Structure 1
Amino acid sequence: MAYSAFWKAASILSAFLASTNAQSSANSATPTASIETVEIGGTPTTFRSIFTIPASADEGAPLLPNVNDPQAIDAQNVCPGYKASQLQKNDNGLSAVLTLAGAPCNVYGNEVDVLNLKVEYQAENRLAINISPANLSPSNSSWFILPDDLVPRPVSESNPGQSDLEFAWGNNPSFWLSVTRRSTGDVLFSSQGRKIVYEDQFIEFGSSLPEDYNLYGLGERIHGLRLGNNLTATIFAADVGDPIDYNIYGSHPFYLDTRYFEKDGNGKRSLVKNSIIDERGYSGKRSPSNTSYESYSHGVYLRNAHPQEVLLRPDSITWRTLGGSIDLIFFDGPTQPEVTKQFQVSTIGLPAMQMYWGFGYHQCRWGYANWTELRGIVQSFRDFDIPLETIWVDIDYMDQYRDFTLDPHTFPPSGVKDFFDWIHGNNQHFVPIVDSAIYIPNPTNASDAYDTYARGNSSGSFLNNPDGSQYIGAVWPGYTVFPDWLSASGVSWWVNEMVEWYKEVPFSGIWIDMSEVSSFCVGSCGTGNVTLNPVHPPFALPGEAGNVIYDYPEGFNITNATEAASALAASSSQQAAMATANEAPTSTVYLRTTPTPGERNVNHPPYVINNVQGDLAVHAVSPNATHHNGVEEYDVHNLFGHQILNATYQGLLGVFPGKRPFIIGRSTFSGSGKWAGHWGGDNASKWYYMYFSIPQALSFSLFGIPMFGVDTCGFNGNTDYELCSRWMQLSAFFPFYRNHNTLSANSQEPFRWASVANATKTAMQIRYSLLPYMYTLFYNAHTTGSTVMRALAWEFPNDIQLAGVDTQFLLGPSLLITPVLQPQVSTVKGVFPGIAEGEVWYDWYTETKVDAQAGVNATIDAPLGHIPVFVRGGSILPTQEPGYTTTESRKNPWGLIVALSANGEAEGELYVDDGESIEPADSLFISFKAGNKSLDANVEGGYKDENALGTVNIMGISEVGNVTLNGQGVAGGNVVFDAEKQTLKIKLNDATSGGAWQGHWTLSWK
Structure 2
Amino acid sequence: MARSGFIRAASILFPLLILVNGQTTSNSADGLNGSAQPTALATVGTVSIDGTHTAFRPIFTIPASADEGATLLPNIEDPQAVNAQDVCPGYKASQVKDDERGLTAVLTLAGAACNAYGTDIEVLNLKVEYQAANRLAISISPAFIDSSNYSHYIVPEDLVPRPTLESSYTDIDLDFNWDNEPTFWFSVTRHSTGDVLFTTENQKLVFENQFVEFVSSLPDDYNLYGLGERIHSLRLNHNLTATIYAADAGDPIDVYGSHPFYLDTRYFETDGHGKQKLVKNSPLPRGNSGGSKYESYSHGVYLRNMHGQEVRLQPDSVTWRTIGGSIDLFFFDGPSQREVTKQYQLAAVGLPALQSYWGFGYHQCRWGYRNWTELRQVVDTFKAFDIPLETIWTDIDYMDQYRDFTVDPVTFPVSEAQAFLEQLHADGQHYIPIVDSAIYIPNPTNSSDAYATYTRGNESGAFLLNPDGSQYIGAVWPGYTVFPDWLSKYSIPWWVNEMVTWHKDIPFDGIWIDMSEVSSFCVGSCGTGNITLNPVHPPFSLPGEVGNIIYDYPEGFNITNATDAASALAASNVNHPPYVINHVQGDLTVHAVSPNATHHNGVQEYDVHNLWGHQILNATYQALLSVFPGKRPFIIGRSTFAGSGKWSGHWGGDNTSKWYYMYFSIPQALSFSLFGIPMFGVDTCGFNGNSDYELCSRWMQLSAFFPFYRNHNTLSANSQEPYIWESVARASRTAMNIRYSLLPYIYTLFYQAHTTGSTVMRALAWEFPNEPLLAGVDTQFMLGPSLLITPVLEPGADTVNGIFPGIIDGEVWYDWYTQEKVQAQAGVNTTINAPLGHIPVFIRSGSVLPQQEPGYTTAESRKNPWGLLVALSEDGDATGSLYVDDGESLEPTDTLTVAFTVMNGKLKADVNGNYKDTNSLGNVTIMGVDGCDGNVKLNGEKIDDSKVDCDEGTGVLKLTGLNDVTKSGAWIASWTLSWA
One fold, TM greater than 0.5? yes
Task: Tell me, in whole angstroms, the C-alpha distance in 1 between the residues paired with 2:568 and 2:480.
Answer: 33
Q: Out of 780, 803, 823, which is 1:831 matched to?
A: 803
Report the equivalent of 2:270: 263
CA change 1:970–1:22 in 2 (3 A) is: closer
**What's the CA shift for 1:717?**
0.3
Question: Which residue is 2:147 aligned to?
Answer: 138
| 3-state SS of 1:503 partner | helix
- Aligned 8 A contact 1:264 1:291 in 2: no
CA contact (8 A) 1:363 1:388 kept: yes
Distance 1:143 1:996 in 2: 58
The aligned counterpart of 1:893 is: 865
Distance 2:320 2:880 in 1: 42
CA contact (8 A) 2:929 2:957 kept: yes
Q: Deviations over 1:857-912 (max 9, x none)?
A: 01000000000000001000000000000000000000000100111111100000
Q: Which moved more, 1:866-875 or 1:14-23?
A: 14-23
Query: Deviation of residue 289 (structure 1)?
Result: 7.4
Change (3 A) 1:286 1:198: farther
Q: Is the contact between residue 923 and residue 958 of structure 2 (CA under 8 Å) also seen in structure 1?
A: yes
Amino acid at match of 1:226: R
Q: Is the 8 A contact 2:44 2:57 kept in 1?
A: no
Q: Are 2:905 and 1:957 aligned?
A: no
Inter-partner Cα distance in structure 2 for 1:92 and 1:221 = 37
Match of residue 899, structure 2, among 918, 922, 927: 927
Distance 1:24 1:383 in 2: 43
1:605 aligned partner: 577
Contact 2:39 2:63 in 1 (8 A): no
Superposed, 1:395-544 pairs within 5 Å as 395-544=396-545
Structure 2 distance, partners of 1:795, 1:221, is: 23
Q: Which one is further off, 256-265 or 652-661?
A: 256-265
Tell whether the 8 Å contact from 1:265 to 1:290 is kept in structure 2 after alignment: no
- Is 1:314 the counterpart of 2:315? The answer is yes
Distance in 2 between residues matched to 1:812 and 1:868, nearest whole Å: 16
CA contact under 8 A between 1:23 and 1:57: conserved in structure 2? no
Equivalenced residues, count: 945
Match of 2:778 among 803, 806, 812: 806
Deviation, structure 1 residue 463:
0.2
Equivalents in 1 of 2:164, 2:174: separation in Å?
17
Q: Amino acid of the residue matched to residue 966 of structure 1?
A: N
Cα distance change on mapping 1:846 and 1:698 into 2, 3 Å: same
**Deviation at residue 141 of structure 1 after TM alignment:** 6.3
| Structure 1 residue identity aligned to 2:316 | D
Local SS of the residue matching 1:143? helix
Deviation per CA, 1:341-391, whole angstroms, max 9, x where unpaired?
000011100000000000000000000000000000000000000000000
3-state SS of 1:455 partner: helix
- Residue aligning to 1:206: 215
Give the deviation of 1:145 after TM superposition: 1.4
SS of 1:421's equivalent in the other structure is: helix
Matches within 5 A, 1:315-714: 315-545=316-546, 600-714=572-686
Aligned to 1:740: 712
Q: Output the CA distance in 1 between the equivalents of 2:40 and 2:605.
A: 32
1:778 corresponding residue in structure 2 = 750
Residue by residue over 1:805-857, the C-alpha shift from the partner in whole angstroms, topping out at 9 and shown as x without a partner, is 00000000000000000000100000000011110100000010001111110
1:413 shift after superposition: 1.1
2:976 corresponds to 1:1002: yes
**8 Å contact from structure 2 (residues 288, 807) kept in 1:** no
Verify the 8 A CA contact 2:28 2:545 in the aligned structure 1: no
Task: Determine helix, strand or coil for the equivalent of 2:734.
Answer: helix
Inter-partner Cα distance in structure 2 for 1:857 and 1:665: 37
The answer to whether the 8 Å contact 2:225/2:235 transfers is yes
The Cα shift of 1:148 comes to 0.6
2:959 is aligned with 1:986: yes
Amino acid in the other structure paired with 1:128? A
Change (3 A) 1:850 1:159: closer
- Give the distance between the partners of 2:148 and 2:763, measured in 1 at CA: 47
AA in 1 matched with 2:129: E
Residue of structure 2 in register with 1:253 after alignment:
260
Aligned residues of 1:726 and 1:820 also touching (Cα < 8 A): yes
Amino acid at match of 1:104: A
Q: 1:184 aligns with which of 190, 193, 198?
A: 193
Residues 1:90 and 2:96 aligned together: no
Instruction: Quote how far apart the aligned CAs of 1:637 are.
Output: 0.6
CA shift, 1:247, in A, is 1.3
Which AA in structure 2 matches 1:770? L
1:242 offset after TM fit, Å?
3.7
Distance 1:111 1:267 in 2: 48
Q: What amino acid is aligned across from residue 973 of structure 1 in structure 2?
A: S
> After alignment, is 528-537 or 84-93 more displaced?
84-93
Q: How does 1:19-168 map to 2 (within 5 A)?
A: 33-37=39-43, 49-140=58-149, 143-168=152-177
Q: Displacement, 1:191?
A: 0.3
Secondary structure at the counterpart of residue 466 of structure 1: coil
Contact 2:289 2:808 survives alignment (8 Å) = no
Query: 1:762 and 2:734 equivalent?
Result: yes
Distance change in 2, residues 1:645/1:24 (3 Å): closer
Contact in 1 for aligned 2:569/2:575 (Cα 8 Å) = no
Q: CA deviation at 1:4?
A: 6.7
Match of 1:571 in 2: none
Distance in 1 between the 2:468 and 2:32 partners?
A: 19
Q: Deviations over 1:681-728 (max 9, x none)?
A: 000000000000000000000000000000000000000000000000
Amino acid of the structure 1 residue aligned with 2:313: L
State the alpha-carbon separation in 2 of the partners of residues 31 and 315 from structure 1. Answer: 49
Matched residue, 1:968: 941
Match status 1:716 vs 2:665: no
Q: CA deviation at 1:958?
A: 2.4
Q: Name structure 1 gaps, 5 residues minimum.
A: 548-590
- Offset, 1:427: 0.4
In structure 2, give the amino acid aligned to 1:426. Answer: D
Question: Could you say which residue in structure 2 is the equivalent of 1:568?
Answer: none
- In the TM superposition, residue 291 of structure 1 has moved relative to its aligned partner by 7.7
C-alpha separation in 2, matches of 1:189 and 1:991:
60
Instruction: Give the Cα separation in 1 of the matches to 2:463 and 2:121.
Output: 33
SS across alignment from 2:860: helix
SS in 2 for 1:991: helix
Superposition deviation, residue 39 in structure 1: 8.5
> How far did 1:158 drift?
3.0
Give the alignment's TM-score, normalised by structure 1: 0.91
Q: Decide which of 736, 760, 763 is 1:788's aligned counterpart.
A: 760
Shift of 1:161: 2.1
What do the CA deviations read for 1:741-773 (whole angstroms, capped 9, x no partner)?
000100000000000000000000000000000
Q: In structure 2, what residue type is equivalent to 1:972? A: D
Q: In the alignment, is residue 196 of structure 1 matched against residue 169 of structure 2?
A: no
Shift of 1:489: 0.2
- What corresponds to 1:574 in structure 2? none
Separation in structure 1 between the aligned mates of residue 762 and residue 418 of structure 2, nearest angstrom:
43
Question: 2:286 matched to 1:272?
Answer: no
Distance 1:24 1:810 in 2: 41
SS at match of 2:963: coil
Q: Distance in 2 between matches of 1:739 and 1:416?
A: 22
Supply the distance in 1 between the matched residues of 2:536 and 2:823 (Cα, whole angstroms).
Answer: 64
Contact 2:288-2:810 at 8 Å conserved across structures: no
Asked if the contact 1:365/1:742 (under 8 Å) is kept, the reply is yes
Distance 1:727 1:450, change over 3 A: same
Provide structure 2 residue ranges, at least 5 long, that are not aligned to the other structure.
Answer: 549-562
**TM-score (structure 2 length as normaliser):** 0.93
The letter of the residue matching 1:854 is A
Shift of 1:626: 0.3
Does the residue aligned with 2:131 lie in a helix, a strand or coil? Answer: strand
Distance 1:420 1:538 in 2: 35
Does residue 1:230 correspond to 2:239, yes or no?
A: yes
